[in-house]
Amino acid sequence: MTPVLFILIVSSLLIILLYWVLSTIRETENIRTKIPRFNYELAAELSSYGESELYLPQDSIKFIGHKNNTWFAYWNLSQEKLARTAQQHDTIPDPERIVLRLYEISEWQRYFDIEVKSISGRCRFELQAGVSYYVVLGMNVKKQFIPMLTSQTIKKTTPTANGNDEI
């Protein structure tokens, strides 16, 4: 009786361990690594960088540069526009689906999605020189990107003698 009980306990533990490993793999499939072409940062600490008194009206987005390689995207989306856009596309207005899409325009156009999950915020970028960029705030719904706010296009150039970037 003891060997049968031992086999049942070990089998149960192995099944639980296998279930845990498989459920963890499914959760980590959606986690993206940082994109090697540029660095970005989403955090509450970004308010201490640069324009602390920046006022951004509702339903607007701004993409601006600062000294060296630092560029910021600021956005402020209203709940009404989110709900209206979601209704037009027959989906739920879920802030968890909000994505900041960075477009890189060089020989061809590429884009990189950053899950911001917020209707207002900011993101700091370190971009490559000699390339044009713009950002679009939108929602990812059923593998479709729905744009809501689009910034102006900027071109990251090499720093000038005084350390400021030319736009």
CATH code of the domain in which 59 resides: 2.60.40.10
Query: What is the rounded average pLDDT of the residues 33-55?
Result: 54
Q: How many domains does the chain have?
A: 2
Structural domain harbouring 105? 39-156
**Domain presence at residue 142:** yes
Pair 13, 47 in one domain: no
CB atoms within 10 A of CB 61: 20
Assess if residue 163 is contained within a domain. no
DSSP state at residue 59 = T
Q: Are residues 5 and 81 in the same domain?
A: no
Q: What percent of the chain is modeled with pLDDT above 90?
A: 25
- Is 21 strand, coil or helix? helix
- Domain-embedded: residue 167: no
Average pLDDT over residues 4-8: 88
Global pTM? Answer: 0.66
Same domain (yes/no): 103, 141: yes
Count, residues in the chain: 167
Q: What average pLDDT does range 64-92 have in this prediction?
A: 86
Mean pLDDT of the chain: 78
Contacts 24+ apart (CB under 8 A), 57-62: 59/149, 60/149, 61/135, 61/136, 61/137, 61/149, 61/150, 61/151, 62/151
| Statement to judge: residues 20 and 85 lie in one domain | no
Residues 1 and 55 occupy one common structural domain: no
Residue 75 and residue 121 in contact, taking contact as beta carbons nearer than 8 Å: yes
SS3 126: strand
What's the pLDDT band for 49 if we cut at 50, 70, 90?
very low
Q: Which residue has the higher pLDDT, 128 or 13?
A: 13
Mean pLDDT of 54-78: 83
> End-to-end alpha-carbon separation of the chain, Å?
79
Which is higher by pLDDT, 163 or 29? Answer: 163
| Whether 138 contacts 62, CB under 8 Å | no
CA neighbours within 13 Å on the CB side: how many for 52? 3
Q: How many CA atoms lie within 13 A of 11 on its CB side?
A: 6
